[in-house]
Amino acid sequence: MLAYAAAHTLTIKDLYQWKTALARRGFLPSKKSAPAFVAIAPAVPTALPTSCKVTLPNSVRFQFPGNPDASSLREILTAASRLA
C-alpha cells in the first residue's frame, strides 16, 4: 500500500483512512467478513438487455432503461456512491 500511495501522490495515512471509511460503509469487506473472492458464472445473454440494474451492498437498487454509455454510467455510480 505504501508503494501505491507514493505512486499516486497520496499519504499512507489518507489511504488507510479511506480504506476504513469504505469498509464501514460496506464497500469493502471488514476484517471479520468472509473471503473477498467469490466464484461467479456469467450469464449467457440471449438478447441485448433493454435495461440496466445496479444493486449496492446496502441493497439500494437502481434500474434505468437502455444501455447507458460510459459517461452516463460513471455519473450514475458517482451519485450512488454518495447515498451511503
| Residue 10 clears pLDDT 80, i.e. is over it | yes
| pLDDT for the residue 1 | 80
pLDDT over threshold 70, residue 47: no
Residues 6+ apart with CB under 8 A from 69: none
| Rounded distance between C-alpha atoms, residue 25 and residue 20, angstroms | 9
- 55 DSSP β-pair partners: 61
How confident is the model over 31-42, as a mean pLDDT?
A: 68
The C-alpha atoms of residue 76 and residue 83 are separated, in whole angstroms, by 11
Domain ranges of the chain: 2-29+50-81
- pTM for the whole structure: 0.33
- CA distance to 19, 28, 29, 44, per residue, from 25 (Å): 10, 8, 10, 32
- How far is Cα 9 from Cα 5, in angstroms, rounded to an integer? 6
